[in-house]
């Protein structure tokens, strides 16, 4: 199962952690994993490459973390909100393969 954790600060998403495998199909055939992986890569690239926002991004041990350095400034929080909405849509379609949590810090 993929577990996605989002954190909000002052009402804006400032952090996400995505880890695990969907387990929907075999490696190379898992459309849920592919959809989530692609969405997370797009999110990280939009934040850092397209909008030149400062963020700590790490990918190790089957987990990717995105933490905005200045969540109140720029488009990073909006982009993370888009990722959250996108993953919610995926979880509605595949509830046994992805779980999402969101909390205020």
Task: Report the CATH fold assignment for 2-104.
Answer: Alpha-Beta Plaits (3.30.70)
Spans of all domains in the chain: 2-104
44, 57 Cβ separation under 8 angstroms: yes
DSSP assigned state of 50: I
pLDDT above 70 covers a percentage of the chain that reads 100
**What pLDDT, in 10s, does the model give residues 1-50?**
999 999 999 999 999 999 999 999 998 899 999 999 999 999 999 999 99
Kindly report the length of the chain.
Answer: 105
pLDDT category of residue 100 using cuts at 50, 70 and 90: very high
């Amino acid at each position: 199962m993929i577990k996605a954790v989002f954190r909000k600060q002052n009402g804006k998403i400032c952090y996400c952690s995505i880890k695990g495998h969907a387990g929907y199909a075999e490696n190379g055939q898992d459309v849920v994993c592919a959809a989530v992986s692609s969405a997370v890569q797009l999110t990280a690239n939009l934040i850092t490459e397209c909008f030149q926002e400062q963020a700590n991004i790490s990918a190790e041990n089957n987990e990717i973390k995105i933490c905005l350095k200045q969540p109140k400034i720029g488009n990073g929080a909006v982009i993370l909100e888009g990722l959250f909405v996108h993953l919610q849509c995926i979880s509605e379609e595949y509830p046994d393969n992805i779980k999402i949590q969101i909390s205020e810090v």
